[in-house]
Amino acid sequence: MKKIFLYLIVACCFLVKASAQDDLLGDLVKADAAKVKNNYTIATFKSTRIINMQSVEMTGKGNLQFMISHRFGQIWKDGKSWSNLAQLFGMNAGAANTYMSFEYAPQSWLNLGFAATGNAQFESWAKFRLTRQQTGVKNIPVTVDLFSSFHFDGSEGPSPDDFVWNRFSYINQLLIGRKLNDKLSLQLIPSWIHYNYVPYGINNTNNVFSIGIGGRYKLTNKTALSFEYSRQLNGYKNLLDESASAVNYVPDLLSLGYDWDTGGHIFQFFFTSSSAATNIAQLSQNTNDVRLGNFSLGFNLNRSYGIKKIVTAP
């Protein structure tokens, strides 16, 4: 009888101890749930490009992204009449620009890229994430990236005096994006372009500035509409080159697109008022007026590969 009584006392002690541990664990869970956490905004844009311009999205850490971008000729050229139909609205015109790039993310806040941009042209860039839209411990209303790129002209020079340094140009952009809700995202894009060399005549400048806006409207989980508009602020009016020939640039760049996420690839089909392949040429040397016939059809194709395994803490 004494042994049974002793066993009952020991059992009660274990029950009391287990109950206390459960209460303590419950208190810890409640305390952890009560803590304010950072809620980061994701998928402001589906791709690292809105259409032509860089978006605030970054390639994931350890991922390599391959992108091919293609722009055909003008949809409808004045005076070409029925031959525009034979040219399939620019797709069979024999005039196209192709852009192929690789972009790698050694860190979640850094993307590095290299591209062949057609006609013996190349460029390389870095994109840095400065802030990220979030709520919780910190309330930050926008995502901000800094994009910086240099462009190199590798084509055959006109003379032996064509210095290599003259072949470089640069673009720096501040990318300011906000996801307003589950469907709509907007981005502001101020840009500064610098040329090491320009054919000085009248009103030519080494520095060209522009301001742009882009956006994306989600239709379904897999599709969306996108747009871009950019305005060149200087370096396009009353230009003459060294031979006194007039140079006419159009300050407006307009693009409309349709995004389709297949799960493995992201396709972007678009109309754009510039057939140039690079942002530098699009924003500072565009010669196409914003008229329907002057638009070009194009597409972007993105594919990401995980080449470095990321180990996360348990």
pLDDT of residue 74: 82
159: pLDDT confidence band, cut at 50, 70 and 90?
A: low
pLDDT of residue 7: 53
- The DSSP result for 145-161, as a single string, is EEEEEEEEE-SPPSSTT
pLDDT per residue as tens digits for the range 99-124: 999 999 999 999 999 999 988 999 99
**What average pLDDT score do residues 2-25 get?**
52
65: pLDDT confidence band, cut at 50, 70 and 90?
A: very high
For residues 5, 10, 16 and 17, what is the CA-based torsion angle, rounded to 10 degrees?
180
**What average pLDDT score do residues 126-145 get?**
95
**CA within 13 Å, CB half, 189:** 29
For residues 206, 70, 255 and 247, what is the CA-based torsion angle, rounded to 10 degrees?
40
Per the CATH hierarchy, to which homologous superfamily does domain 58-306 belong? Answer: monomeric porin ompg (2.40.160.40)
Length of the chain counted residue by residue: 314
- The DSSP result for 60-82, as a single string, is PTTEEEEEEEEEEEES--TT-TT
Residue 24 has pLDDT above 70, yes or no: no
Element containing residue 41 per DSSP (H, E): none
pLDDT of residue 148: 98
* CA gap 126, 111 in Å, rounded: 6
pLDDT of residue 28: 47
Question: Which has the higher per-residue pLDDT, 248 or 173?
Answer: 173
pLDDT of residue 16: 47
- The DSSP result for 245-256, as a single string, is -EE----EEEEE
Burial 222-235 (b: 16+ CB within 10 A, else e): eebebbbbbebeeb
* CA gap 275, 77 in Å, rounded: 13
Q: Could you give the percent of the chain with pLDDT greater than 90?
A: 59
Residue 38 has pLDDT above 80, yes or no: yes
**What average pLDDT score do residues 181-207 get?**
94
Give the predicted TM-score (pTM) of the model: 0.84
pLDDT of residue 161: 62
- The DSSP result for 121-184, as a single string, is EEEEEEEEEEE--EESSS-B--EEEEEEEEEEE-SPPSSTT--GGGGEEEEEEEEEEEE-SSSE
pLDDT per residue as tens digits for the range 280-303: 999 999 998 888 778 899 999 999
**What average pLDDT score do residues 209-238 get?**
96
11: pLDDT confidence band, cut at 50, 70 and 90?
A: low
Q: Where are the domains of the chain?
A: 58-306
Beta carbons of 157 and 164 less than 8 angstroms apart? no
SS3 assignment, position 293: helix
pLDDT of residue 232: 97
pLDDT of residue 32: 55
pLDDT of residue 306: 85
Query: Beta-carbon neighbour count of residue 107 at 10 Å?
Result: 12
201: pLDDT confidence band, cut at 50, 70 and 90?
A: confident
21: pLDDT confidence band, cut at 50, 70 and 90?
A: low
Query: Beta-carbon neighbour count of residue 193 at 10 Å?
Result: 25
Residue 173 has pLDDT above 60, yes or no: yes
